[in-house]
Amino acid sequence: MVQATDDLTRVIDEHPFFADMPKPYRDLVVGCARNERFDAGEYIFREGQEANRFYLVRTGQVAVEVHVPGREPLVVETLGHGEVLGWSWLVKPYKWTFDARAMQLTRAISLDGACLRGKMDDDHALAYELLSRFVPVMSERISAARMQLMDMYGSPRERRQ
């Protein structure tokens, strides 16, 4: 019988986010992981809530959204299989900066942020490995939010005409 830890190890070993990460570090990460399931329409997290996890999307789709008063939520990005959701667990005060909502049944591996921060404090090489993977995710998310806001409000040239 396959153990749950064996399944988590396999998923993390095969996930593109952890590509080329040394095996001992992937093994440390597994100790902070668990399987999760989210139904269509279910919020995975909400802006302002405590950010204590990040997610490796295995199946389904997740909308990363910004709450806009008086309007429908603005979808910044839609994530699917093989993508990473959540980086606010890395940055104090550890609060989510976006909402994340499952668009369909979604299965993911979640990783405990406090667990990982403790391991990163103990092993700075692991911290470097994780941060070097998260900085591009952070940059992409912020850039996507910026582009959506530009689309929503138009460029300054368009407003002057």
Query: Does the residue 117 lie in any domain?
Result: yes
Helix 113-122 / helix 124-153 crossing angle, nearest 10 deg? 130
| Residue-range definition of the domain harbouring residue 53 | 4-153
Query: Does the residue 66 lie in any domain?
Result: yes
More confident residue, 154 or 76: 76
| Residue-level pLDDT at 72 | 86
CA distance 17 to 23: 13
Query: Does the residue 161 lie in any domain?
Result: no
Query: Does the residue 160 lie in any domain?
Result: no
More confident residue, 158 or 93: 93
| Residue-level pLDDT at 69 | 84
Let me know if 136 is exposed, middle or buried by CB neighbors in 10 A (0-12, 13-18, 19+). Answer: exposed
The pLDDT mean for the chain works out to 86
| Residue-level pLDDT at 87 | 84
Tens digits of residue pLDDT in 39-98: 999 999 999 999 999 999 999 999 999 887 888 888 888 999 999 998 889 889 999 988
Strand partners, 38: 106
Q: Which two tokens stand for residue 57?
A: 């999307």
| Residue-level pLDDT at 1 | 34
Q: Which two tokens stand for residue 126?
A: 């692991």
For 90, other C-beta atoms within 10 Å of its C-beta total 20
Query: Does the residue 80 lie in any domain?
Result: yes
Query: Does the residue 131 lie in any domain?
Result: yes
Of the candidates 70, 48, 68, the residue with the CA atom closest to the CA atom of residue 148: 68
| Residue-level pLDDT at 159 | 47
- Is a pLDDT exceeding 70 seen at residue 153? no
Q: Which range has the worst mean pLDDT, 16-20, 42-46, 151-155?
A: 151-155
CATH number assigned to the domain comprising residue 111: 2.60.120.10
Name the domain count of the chain: 1
Residues 6+ apart with CB under 8 A from 70: none
Share of the chain above pLDDT 90, in %: 56
Please list, residue by residue across 51-72, b when 16 or more beta carbons sit within 10 angstroms of its beta carbon and e when fewer do. Answer: bbbbbbbbebbbbbbbeeeeee
H/E stretch holding 100: strand 99-102
